[in-house]
Structure 1
Amino acid sequence: MEMQRTVLMADGQSFYASIEKAAHPEYRDKPVAVGDPARRSGIILAACPIAKSRGVTSAERVGEALAKCPDLVVIRPRMQTYISVSLLITEIFESITDQVEPFSIDEQFLDVTGSLALFGSAEEIARLIQTRVKLSTGVWSRVGIGPNKILAKMATDNFAKKRPTGIFELTHDNIEEELWSLPVHQMFMVAGRMTSHFARMGLHTIGDIARLDLGEFKKRMRFRMGRQSDIQAEYYWQTANGIDPSPVVTGMRSQIKVINHGRALKWQAYRTIEDIEPLMLELIVEVCRRARRYGYMGRVVAVGAAETDGHRSSGFGRQRTLPRPTHLEHEIGPVIRSLFLEHWKGLPLTHLHITLTDLSRDDMYQLDLFEDRERLIHREKTVDALKERFGPTAIIRASSLLKTAQAFERAAQIGGHWA
């Protein structure tokens, strides 16, 4: 008989904020958030528990957070530090098991099935993780335990985060009692839009899905979302029932399905198309550069934007299919510009986002009778190689010297935040 797996999901509480509080002991009893203190229109990336108790939330504007909590200490993010701490935590986990799968910068799966004989029960391993990570980094870990990744993840998100011990085990023995009564939006991978679909089907709790016969659930999904929804239905039904055969995969995952790049903006600076175009071109260049780095071309491009004049607000997201897959700026740029001008209402921008999807490998591509595509691709990859070696500003377009461009500022950052 095959041994049942024991999987942990370890999550760092208020990860960025916890690292900053560990680095600044003088702020131990103060509300702390991570964001750009010089930009009240910027967003809060993380808030410590004290700040959260004062109403501060992640993703809200810095100005809004300070209005709720005037004594909030806002610290500029240091992304390289957070990445280094995340890698250190991975090393701590790898001292317990060689099966560690990073899920995000602050979440990691561990398969500890083979470690139980060395370190004790799953709960004892969870406490060991909490102690080692706290002593090494100052970050408090919440740990969910389950027989697979789905249950471990839902144990962390729905229970461990709310327990004083920071540990909770979700198994097939207690799933009905503990999980099925929760609202359906608390099920893994169910967001607002899917919650609305389920509500219209009369499915309000996780148990409402789990108790249905799979065939009946597929029938409801087809009626609501079309015949192509069968695979989706099976995924949600299995999730509700705690079924997940996927292994813990060491290292980072996986098949890339989308390549995108976006910026939150100071809306006062991006009022006209002349203001916006330099930044738009930089985003297009970066998306194409990433696509070439990963070895992909895309056939569907999309642009998204949010705009406001301080009184009226609007937003849009539109996509267009290209004649052929590409990762070349001169093929993507005019389409993005046309889409943007077609749907932009002319208000100052607060956000701009470029996306490339419907990806395929770039080792096979269509040639052109009227253009030497191979030469153009080779040229762009040569420029990419120079940027990799000498930095992203080693070669830039002249438009990046304009006032509203951000290439030089972003070159000193990691993931859009200061290193």
Structure 2
Amino acid sequence: MVEKQRKIIHIDMDAFYASVEQRDHPQLRGQPVVVGGNPDSRGVVATCSYEARRFGIHSAMSCARAYRLCPQAVFVRPRFDAYQRVSQQIREIFFSYTDLVEPLSLDEAYLDVTTNKAKMQSATWVAQNICKEIRQQTHLTASAGVSYNKFLAKIASDVKKPAGLTVVTPEQAESFIEQLPIRRFHGVGRVTEKKMKALGIHTGADLRRHSLVELNKNFGKAGQYYFNIARGIDLRPVVPNRIRKSIGKETTLGEDITDISQMLTIIGDLSQRVGALLERKQTSGMTLTLKVKYADFQTVTRSFSHEKAIETAEDILKIAESLLQKTDAGNRAVRLLGVTVSHLTTDIVAVESQQMDLPFGSLTQIEL
């Protein structure tokens, strides 16, 4: 089976929420900005500026820890209406080049520009023009990855952040993948990374040396996916207006409880189960929802959306803990708890039934 000769772009805005805040509030420019909860709360970091990242701050970190790392940081509450307006501006730019746009979140999307409205032969030119228009119209920067499939385009967009452009041609794919640390592979979470390293898999080159039989034995159905991406094979199309899915777990308690520590233990278990499902499906999500049903059967939900993907049990638990504080749990008895990750960053990966072991050179040369 030969990979279609496609031209795929992945656009990822740079520190999106924080950059919007710095643009709209000039006094924040050049400052370490943290978008999320208050530093004296149990809130978490949604995103932060590059100035804050130099101190080791990152998304899903507790705001209290972020403050300890950088006491001079400026903490601001998210303004999702503002981010959505800018996101719509950016998508209009995308649609001026192609109708095959698959948004992953407010700040990133895949574009299939194999044929495009600008009639440009080079996807690199299209990506350059898009990033230029984004800067001109929104005064924000974006990074872009260009390749012949979604897997490579997404990884490439993260290589030269901020305001970078990386192209991975079919001829470059093998060496590009071979050098990638296994943690950079989308769909390889912390648990899988640990298991892979125990098997001697540290890079893409190590992963490619393992047969499909070995990968299936150790990773089940996901083995085919790992086998394919190690060879630069990703047949997923760019799907416009795709249906959002969610992954979640909930449990009805044997008896009503008011003890917060008990609730956190239960939420921790649910987080582990949802995190394992995300890893098994090779996906992540942008929004976490905590569901609480009180003893009188009243149900409430609290949600939090990240700029970057929620993909591990640790991410889920941190956010769920802060959301629990926004309910009456503890003051009121609770009979059910649930956590759900939604706005998934990928469709659930469907593996091919047959083995595909193509040389990288099997793709006809195309101009990216």
| TM surpasses 0.5 | yes
Q: Please, what TM-score do these two structures have when normalized by structure 1?
A: 0.60
Output the amino acid matched with 1:206.
G
User: What percentage of residue pairs aligned between the two structures are identical?
Assistant: 31
Give 2:214's match in structure 1, choosing from 183, 199, 219: 219
- When residues 241 and 29 of structure 1 are mapped into structure 2, their CA distance, relative to the original with a 3 A threshold, is same
**Within-5 A mapping of 1:335-350:** none
Any idea what SS the aligned residue of 2:232 has? coil
Alpha-carbon distance, 1:205 to partner: 1.0
- When residues 38 and 126 of structure 1 are mapped into structure 2, their CA distance, relative to the original with a 3 A threshold, is same
Any idea what SS the aligned residue of 2:187 has? coil
Any idea what SS the aligned residue of 1:234 has? helix
Using the alignment, how far apart are the partners of 2:247 and 2:323 within structure 1? Answer: 13
Determine if contact 1:306/1:350 at 8 Å carries over to the other structure.
Answer: no
Determine if contact 1:42/1:61 at 8 Å carries over to the other structure.
Answer: yes
- 2:203 corresponds to 1:205: yes
Structure-1 residue corresponding to 2:336: none
Structure-1 residue corresponding to 2:321: 351
- When residues 189 and 71 of structure 1 are mapped into structure 2, their CA distance, relative to the original with a 3 A threshold, is same
- 2:98 corresponds to 1:145: no
Deviations 1:334-360 (A, max 9, x none): 9xxxxxxxxxxxxxx972889xxxxxx
Using the alignment, how far apart are the partners of 1:24 and 1:257 within structure 2? Answer: 35
Output the amino acid matched with 1:218.
V
Alpha-carbon distance, 1:244 to partner: 1.3
Give the number of aligned pairs.
Answer: 287
Deviations 1:258-302 (A, max 9, x none): 2469xxxxxxxxxx944769xxxxxxxxxxxxxxxxxxxxxxxxx
Structure-2 residue corresponding to 1:369: none
Structure-1 residue corresponding to 2:247: 258
5+ long unaligned stretches in structure 2: 251-255, 274-292, 299-318, 334-342, 344-368
- When residues 111 and 315 of structure 1 are mapped into structure 2, their CA distance, relative to the original with a 3 A threshold, is closer
Determine if contact 2:141/2:163 at 8 Å carries over to the other structure.
Answer: no
Give 2:231's match in structure 1, choosing from 237, 241, 246: 241
**Within-5 A mapping of 1:249-328:** 249-254=239-244, 256=245, 258-259=247-248, 273-274=257-258, 305-306=264-265, 315-317=268-270
- When residues 123 and 402 of structure 1 are mapped into structure 2, their CA distance, relative to the original with a 3 A threshold, is same
Structure-2 residue corresponding to 1:30: 31
- When residues 30 and 210 of structure 1 are mapped into structure 2, their CA distance, relative to the original with a 3 A threshold, is same
Alpha-carbon distance, 1:88 to partner: 2.1
Runs of 4+ more than 6 Å apart: 399-405
Alpha-carbon distance, 1:73 to partner: 1.1
Determine if contact 2:39/2:64 at 8 Å carries over to the other structure.
Answer: no
> Quick check: which one's helix share is greater?
1
Structure-1 residue corresponding to 2:177: 179
5+ long unaligned stretches in structure 1: 262-271, 278-302, 308-313, 320-328, 335-348, 355-398, 406-414
Deviations 1:71-106 (A, max 9, x none): 211111112222222222111100111110011221
Using the alignment, how far apart are the partners of 1:54 and 1:184 within structure 2? Answer: 25
Alpha-carbon distance, 1:16 to partner: 0.7
Deviations 1:112-145 (A, max 9, x none): 1112863452222212111211222233111000
Using the alignment, how far apart are the partners of 2:265 and 2:130 within structure 1? Answer: 42
Determine if contact 1:6/1:147 at 8 Å carries over to the other structure.
Answer: yes
Output the amino acid matched with 1:198.
M
Bigger Rg, structure 1 or 2: 1
- When residues 130 and 208 of structure 1 are mapped into structure 2, their CA distance, relative to the original with a 3 A threshold, is same
Output the amino acid matched with 1:11.
D
Give 1:232's match in structure 2, choosing from 222, 225, 246: 222
Any idea what SS the aligned residue of 1:5 has? coil
Superposed CA RMSD: 3.8
Any idea what SS the aligned residue of 1:114 has? coil
| Greater relative CO, 1 or 2 (CA 8 Å, sep 6+) | 2
Deviations 1:178-209 (A, max 9, x none): 22122211111111111122122222211112
